[in-house]
Structure formats: structure tokens, C-alpha cells
């Protein structure tokens, strides 16, 4: 076969046969990113590489519009970090422009009842993952792999089930936020959770598959689907005022924001883990870990946690991890993202000229780090909404923020 196989049952992407010229580029991309042949793990890199637009995400946005038009439902959207630095591509902005305020306004104009930031869910993940990392180090159960990329988790389960024990038990930020919307948010606002439709807006097509495992998130739409919604509804994106996220599960910390780039989950977890271990703020270099920033396929460092040193590895693309598998025991903590550069390079991002993709990804990465630099709160444990959520809810109720990957 010359091209990637897209099964009818695939919930993440589809092929428009009339547009396919059988060039084989999708298959080459798949092999170089994932190291496997014709066994889709849903990363969607083939979509970004297809020269004719024959591969597209499976569109779910019409279902969202139907719920918005039905007054029986409260429709809540939450926005992943990488969307805000890519949406401008479709509206004539320079690549990487940080458009959070206009994005929130566009979502309110579309008619969502509440607009939250998935950086809240990312902060929650960091809190849980930092505790888990510390426990695993004490109990000598390292290395620990991050678990927020569903394509990576699926790959690991399929091809290296012996390593499932090394996967963090944390749900992904989107799955955690979905759970918090159906529990914490529903209870605080006294809304019957059956009436809530939770919509995750993300750069990632793989989250459409992840949602089938964690159904507290009802629908997943991509950046490219949001662009279609804005255009179909005739919203003048460029002339929108800036708005802010709604409170309760609103904006997260800088640590939550940098989840959108390769190395970000690692850097933000270390900021919080350092604080949890030493009861003091991490040193300045934890706020600019150059060794693990940028788009290289493998980045590594030894980090001084004061009580001990940690060897960390950051991998982009599962094909990279595959090459280094014999060495993984050398590491204490390993981040893996299936897409080059992390989620800013996800398969649900707007299409751009393929020969400019690396340059555009770099601009998105710089834009995310630039906003982190400007934020007052850069650590998940300092986010007041996270503190409130633990104090008034998570510590008192049985909220499922972890999962059993074997299941």
C-alpha cells in the first residue's frame, strides 16, 4: 500500500477519496513519525502533510452547534494552550500570534455558555503528576512516562505493554477538566450534570479517540473546526475585542500554558515537584530550562532537586522513543509527545505550507514561552483556582483524576 490506511471506524480522521492523488506522502510522514506501518495511533501528522487536503479531522462541530441552539443544554468549552497561537493563521495574522483574548470572544459569540481554559486541567495534572513522581522516586518505580498524549499512550499499550507500569496514572489535562466540569462545576453552579455538554477545543485529533475512554468530555473539536465555525457564522475575528476566561476553571498558570510545547510538561512538573519536596520556590533556571526547550526530537538534562538529582528525557515523536528504548532505564522521568514540537504541531491545527511548517512551529513555541514569561503565576501550586478546587472539593470528594491504564 502506498498511502496510510484510514478505516471507516476511525473516530479521529477521514479521507476524501476524490481529492487523493495517491502521492504516498502521508505514508512517508507516518513512518518517520511513528515507526509503524498502517496501524494508526491518531497523531494526525498525515493530515498536515497531505498536499491536496484529502485527509481531514472527523468533524464534530455541527453537533456542538446543535447543542448550542438547544436551550435544554448548558454548553461549556475548554481551550487547550496550543489553539491560541495557531488560530491566527486562518485570519491573516503573523504565525504564532498569541490571540487568547479574541479566541475567548469568538467562543462567546458562537454561543458557548461558559468558556474555560484547559490550562486549569493542566495545572491539576501537574499537581497530581508531581506527587506521583515523588512517590515513584521514593519507591524506586522509575522511570515515569508522562501520560497526557493519547497517541503515545495507545502506542505504548499496543507495542510495549511491559512498560505500562511506567506510565503515569494521571488522566490527561482534558480528561481531568472534563471530570471537574461534570462534578465540581456542576455542583458549584447547581446544574444537573446531564444537562451539561462539555466540549474540548484542542489542536489534537487523537483527543477524539481519548474521549471514548473518558466520556466526561462529550465532544472534541479541533482548531481547524473552530475556524470553520467562525467562518460559517460570519464572525469578524480580527475586529473582536479581547475577553477573559470564565472563573472557577478559568485561566491556569504559566506552568499549565507551556503544556502546549514539547518539554513543557516536564518543566512545569519540575517547578511544582521541587516546591513539594523542598517547601520553597524552585531556582530561576526551572523557569527557563533551555536544555529541554525547542523542537529537537530528543532533549535531556540532569536537574538538581536539592535532595537528589533527576535525569530527565524529553522525546518528540514515538519513532524517537523507539530508538532509545534500550536506554530508558537511565532516566527518572520521561516526557513523550507524538507530534513534532508537541501539541502546537498537532494534526488538528490549521493547514500551512509544508515547507514552512518547522518555522511556524518555532514561532508558536516562542509565543507560548513568551506569555509564560509575562505571567505573574508560573507554578500550578500557586494557581488560586487550583487551591480552591483542592480545598473545597477534591480533598473532600472522590474525584477520579487517575486511571488504570491496564483497563
Binding residues for ligand SF4 (CB under 6 A): 3, 15, 20-26, 43, 50, 52, 54-55, 149, 151, 203-204, 206, 337-339, 342-343, 346
Cβ at position 140, least distance to ligand SF4 in Å:
29
Alpha carbon distance 117, 277 (integer Å) = 28
Alpha carbon distance 201, 99 (integer Å) = 15
Radius of gyration of the chain (CA): 20
Which CB sits closer to ligand SF4, 104 or 339? Answer: 339
Which of 303, 158, 179 has its CA nearest to residue 249? 179
Determine the 3-state secondary structure of 300 from DSSP.
strand
Q: How far is CA 366 from CA 327, 339, 377, in A?
A: 30, 17, 18
Cβ at position 149, least distance to ligand SF4 in Å:
3
Which CB sits closer to ligand SF4, 117 or 246? Answer: 117
Which CB sits closer to ligand SF4, 137 or 174? Answer: 174
Cβ at position 50, least distance to ligand SF4 in Å:
3
- Report which DSSP code applies to 351: P
Residue ranges of alpha helices (H) inside 111-240 are 118-138, 150-159, 173-180, 186-188, 206-213, 223-232
Given a contact cutoff of 8 angstroms between Cβ atoms, the answer to whether 324 and 313 are in contact is: yes
Cβ at position 226, least distance to ligand SF4 in Å:
15
Give the DSSP H or E segment for 170: none
Which CB sits closer to ligand SF4, 208 or 240? Answer: 208
How deeply is 397 buried, as exposed, middle or buried, from its count of CB atoms within 10 A (0-12, 13-18, 19+)?
exposed
Cβ at position 203, least distance to ligand SF4 in Å:
5
Which CB sits closer to ligand SF4, 203 or 255? Answer: 203
Which CB sits closer to ligand SF4, 186 or 201? Answer: 201
Cβ at position 175, least distance to ligand SF4 in Å:
11
Given a contact cutoff of 8 angstroms between Cβ atoms, the answer to whether 318 and 41 are in contact is: yes
Which CB sits closer to ligand SF4, 30 or 137? Answer: 30
Residue reference for cell 502521492? 23
Cβ at position 129, least distance to ligand SF4 in Å:
15
Which CB sits closer to ligand SF4, 105 or 340? Answer: 340
Which of 47, 76, 67 has its CA nearest to residue 224? 47
Which of 246, 226, 217, 203 has its CA nearest to residue 116? 246
Alpha carbon distance 377, 39 (integer Å) = 41
Cβ at position 240, least distance to ligand SF4 in Å:
25
Amino acid at each position: 500500500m502506498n498511502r496510510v490506511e484510514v478505516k471507516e471506524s476511525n473516530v479521529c480522521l477521514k479521507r476524501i477519496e476524490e481529492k487523493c492523488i495517491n502521492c504516498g506522502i502521508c505514508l512517508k510522514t507516518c513512518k518517520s513519525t511513528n515507526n509503524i506501518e498502517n496501524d494508526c495511533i491518531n497523531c494526525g501528522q498525515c493530515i498536515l502533510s497531505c498536499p491536496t487536503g484529502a485527509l481531514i479531522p472527523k468533524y464534530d462541530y455541527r453537533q456542538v452547534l446543535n447543542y448550542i441552539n438547544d436551550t435544554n443544554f448548558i454548553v461549556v468549552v475548554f481551550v487547550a494552550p496550543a489553539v491560541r497561537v495557531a488560530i491566527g493563521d486562518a485570519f491573516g495574522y503573523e504565525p504564532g500570534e498569541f490571540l487568547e483574548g479574541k479566541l475567548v470572544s469568538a467562543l462567546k459569540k458562537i454561543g458557548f455558555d461558559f468558556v474555560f481554559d484547559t490550562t486549569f486541567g493542566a495545572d491539576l495534572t501537574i499537581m497530581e503528576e508531581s506527587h506521583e513522581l515523588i512517590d515513584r522516586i521514593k519507591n524506586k518505580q522509575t522511570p515515569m512516562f508522562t501520560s497526557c498524549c493519547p497517541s503515545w499512550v495507545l502506542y505504548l499499550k499496543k507495542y510495549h505493554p511491559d512498560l505500562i507500569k511506567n506510565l503515569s496514572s494521571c488522566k490527561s489535562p482534558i480528561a481531568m477538566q472534563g471530570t471537574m466540569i461534570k462534578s465540581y462545576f456542576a455542583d458549584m453552579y447547581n446544574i444537573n450534570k446531564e444537562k451539561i455538554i462539555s466540549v474540548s477545543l484542542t489542536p489534537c485529533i487523537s483527543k477524539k479517540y481519548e474521549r471514548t475512554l473518558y466520556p466526561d468530555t462529550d465532544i472534541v473539536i479541533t482548531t481547524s473546526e473552530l475556524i470553520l465555525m467562525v467562518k460559517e457564522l460570519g464572525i469578524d475575528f480580527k475586529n473582536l475585542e479581547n475577553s477573559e476566561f470564565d472563573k472557577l476553571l478559568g485561566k491556569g498558570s504559566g506552568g499549565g500554558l507551556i503544556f502546549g510545547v514539547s518539554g513543557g510538561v516536564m518543566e512545569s512538573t519540575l517547578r511544582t515537584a521541587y516546591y513539594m519536596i523542598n517547601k520553597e520556590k524552585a531556582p530561576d533556571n526551572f523557569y527557563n530550562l533551555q536544555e529541554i526547550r525547542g523542537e529537537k526530537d530528543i532533549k535531556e538534562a540532569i536537574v538538581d532537586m536539592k535532595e537528589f538529582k533527576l535525569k530527565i528525557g524529553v522525546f518528540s515523536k514515538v519513532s524517537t522513543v523507539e530508538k532509545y528504548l534500550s536506554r530508558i532505564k537511565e532516566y527518572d522521568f520521561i516526557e513523550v509527545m507524538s507530534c513534532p514540537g508537541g501539541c502546537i504541531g498537532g494534526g488538528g491545527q490549521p493547514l500551512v505550507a509544508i515547507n514552512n511548517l518547522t518555522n511556524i512551529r518555532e514561532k508558536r513555541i516562542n509565543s507560548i514561552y513568551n506569555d509564560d514569561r509575562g505571567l505573574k503565576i508560573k507554578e500550578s501550586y500557586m494557581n488560586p483556582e487550583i487551591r480552591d478546587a483542592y480545598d473545597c472539593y477534591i480533598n473532600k470528594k472522590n474525584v477520579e483524576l487517575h486511571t488504570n491504564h491496564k483497563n
